[in-house]
Amino acid sequence: MQAAVEAEATQTAHAPFDVERIRAEFPILTQQVHGKPLVYLDNAATAQKPQVVIDALERYYTEQNANIHRGVHYLSQLATREYEDARVKIQRFLNAAEAHEIIFTRGTTESINLVALSFGRKFVQAGDEIIISTLEHHSNIVPWQMLCEQTGATLRVIPINDAGELLLDEYERMLNPKVKLVAVAHLSNALGTLNPVQRIIELAHAQDIPVLLDGAQAAPHIKVDVRELDCDFYALSGHKLCGPTGIGVLYGKSRWLEAMPPVFGGGDMIASVTFEKTTYNTLPHKLEAGTPHIEGGIGLGVAVDYLTGIGLDRIAAYEHELLEYATELIGSIPGVTLVGTAREKASVLSFTIDNIHPHDIGTILDQEGIAIRAGHHCAQPVMKRFGVPATARASFAFYNTKAEIDALAVGIQKAIEVFS
């Protein structure tokens, strides 16, 4: 099956990118909203689902539903196999060395909290330091703040320039033996900055400091190879990868995951339990207590195979074209200011318009059937850095088109007219 997925990817690698064919695989995209064709440009919040993923969920409940890792009966074994096969699909998607390095979680937020609670409990103490950056989503700020409050460690923040790029020299100066972890976004959700994560990791590893990448935004848009990156942890959310909600992944190198204590106790994570002493299961189960999101894991496996079938490199190239087109078109509308103009960007166009609150922009665009996000994007420190309370954010996926970006430009002009 995997060979078939990879063979298809190789075959399609040189074919033209047929966006209409791809769009036909996403039933939701044919909808009308407020009497207008839906233009879905809120992909950084969550991606739409192709029919194959929807079918997998239906198939699970009509043909496979059972609890896993517990039953000797047919359905339990079937569901277990499907779930564990999905883990292997995700292992391949990220090029992890071992399937047990893929821990299923509820999403990026839980993945990062798991590292903060488990790695943090074991390896972080008073006087230590954790490094994050100004760009982070609250999910990669608050867990570390909580850890620092509990342990007496200090949170240090890499500054950014006016384009929204990390100041690497400052980062290099911040590294020292007290730093126990560097945790940064691979791709910023608020600005679209693609961070130089390879360099960030090299610099940290030169001082034996592990690195966690928040891959919530990057994983759907660029090929992620955790072994090539050599990151220690990688967190992602299934729902942003065309998979179901409520499922995500923490990738961790075996040596860290083996050393980390479980955070949640319960079924599946134990080897044996007596009232005197409990011993824990092996990876990945040690870190996955209780009945998991079985159909979510299976659906995510189907989703990553679907993306591999199209080819992440082709997705990245096509989306790059869309972003360049949108940057040029929207950025040249008088009154529009782009927020986040890094040299390396992907998928996200954040902007403000003179004298119009981003929520009003979002509401007017919604009347045109156009879905964008308006607000602080769960990244309030980024907004503060740019001196704005909020931005409007259009975020692109491989099923979007230039015609949809044209519709966005027309909608923005309309908003400007309404408020002028």
Catalytic residues: 378
Identity of the residue, 80 or 140, whose beta carbon is nearer to ligand C6P in the bound complex: 140
Stretch of 59-67, 93-101, 133-141, 201-209 lying at the interface with ligand C6P (CB under 6 A): 133-141
For 105, the 3-state DSSP assignment is strand
- Decide: is 139 part of the binding site for ligand C6P (CB under 6 A): yes
Separation of alpha carbons 397 and 319, rounded Å: 6
CA distance to 55, 74, 292, per residue, from 66 (Å): 18, 9, 11
Identity of the residue, 203 or 218, whose beta carbon is nearer to ligand C6P in the bound complex: 218
- 309 within 8 A of 9, measured Cβ to Cβ: yes
- Decide: is 189 part of the binding site for ligand C6P (CB under 6 A): yes
Among 115, 203, 213, 216, binds ligand C6P (CB under 6 A): 216
- 134 within 8 A of 159, measured Cβ to Cβ: yes
- The least CB distance from residue 183 to ligand C6P, in Å, is 11
Among 5, 69, 87, 107, binds ligand C6P (CB under 6 A): 107
- 381 within 8 A of 414, measured Cβ to Cβ: no
- The least CB distance from residue 392 to ligand C6P, in Å, is 12
- The least CB distance from residue 394 to ligand C6P, in Å, is 12
Identity of the residue, 151 or 217, whose beta carbon is nearer to ligand C6P in the bound complex: 217
- Decide: is 377 part of the binding site for ligand C6P (CB under 6 A): yes
- The least CB distance from residue 106 to ligand C6P, in Å, is 7
Identity of the residue, 137 or 285, whose beta carbon is nearer to ligand C6P in the bound complex: 137
- Decide: is 217 part of the binding site for ligand C6P (CB under 6 A): yes
Instruction: Retrieve residue 93's tokens.
Output: 């998607």
Stretch of 88-96, 113-121, 284-292, 370-378 lying at the interface with ligand C6P (CB under 6 A): 370-378
Instruction: Retrieve residue 309's tokens.
Output: 């079938």
244-246-250 Cα angle (round to 5): 100
- The least CB distance from residue 418 to ligand C6P, in Å, is 25
What sign for the dihedral angle of Cα 56, 59, 61, 67? negative
Q: CA-based diameter of the chain, in Å?
A: 73
- 83 within 8 A of 294, measured Cβ to Cβ: yes
Q: Is 57 exposed, middle or buried (0-12, 13-18, 19+ CB in 10 A)?
A: middle
- 46 within 8 A of 245, measured Cβ to Cβ: yes
Stretch of 22-30, 61-69, 107-115, 221-229 lying at the interface with ligand C6P (CB under 6 A): 107-115
Angle between helices 51-59 and 294-310 in degrees, nearest 10: 150
CA distance to 19, 27, 242, 283, per residue, from 306 (Å): 14, 15, 9, 27
Among 69, 100, 180, 373, binds ligand C6P (CB under 6 A): 373
Alpha helices by DSSP H, 265-311: 294-310
- The DSSP line for 338-349 is ES---SSB-SEE
Q: Contacts with ligand C6P: how many residues (CB under 6 A)?
A: 17
Among 214, 305, 319, 404, binds ligand C6P (CB under 6 A): 214
Identity of the residue, 64 or 195, whose beta carbon is nearer to ligand C6P in the bound complex: 195
Among 378, 413, 414, 419, binds ligand C6P (CB under 6 A): 378
- The least CB distance from residue 6 to ligand C6P, in Å, is 27
Query: Taking CB under 6 A as the rule, which mask of x and - marks residues 2-41 in contact with ligand C6P?
Result: ----------------------------------------
Q: Which residue is nearest to ligand C6P (CB)?
A: 189
Residue ranges of E strands in 203-308:
211-214, 233-237, 248-252, 270-273, 278-280
Identity of the residue, 89 or 240, whose beta carbon is nearer to ligand C6P in the bound complex: 240
Query: Taking CB under 6 A as the rule, which mask of x and - marks residues 43-82 in contact with ligand C6P?
Result: -xx-------------------------------------
- The least CB distance from residue 217 to ligand C6P, in Å, is 5
Q: What is the DSSP letter of 156?
A: E
Closest alpha carbon to 89 in 222, 249, 227: 249
- Decide: is 185 part of the binding site for ligand C6P (CB under 6 A): yes
Spell out the residues 6+ positions from residue 101 whose beta carbon is closer than 8 angstroms to its own: 91, 251, 252, 253, 254, 257, 283, 284
Residue 371, H or E segment: strand 370-371
- The least CB distance from residue 304 to ligand C6P, in Å, is 16
The residue ranges that bind ligand C6P (CB under 6 A) are 44-45, 107-109, 137, 139-140, 185, 189, 214, 216-217, 237, 373, 377-378
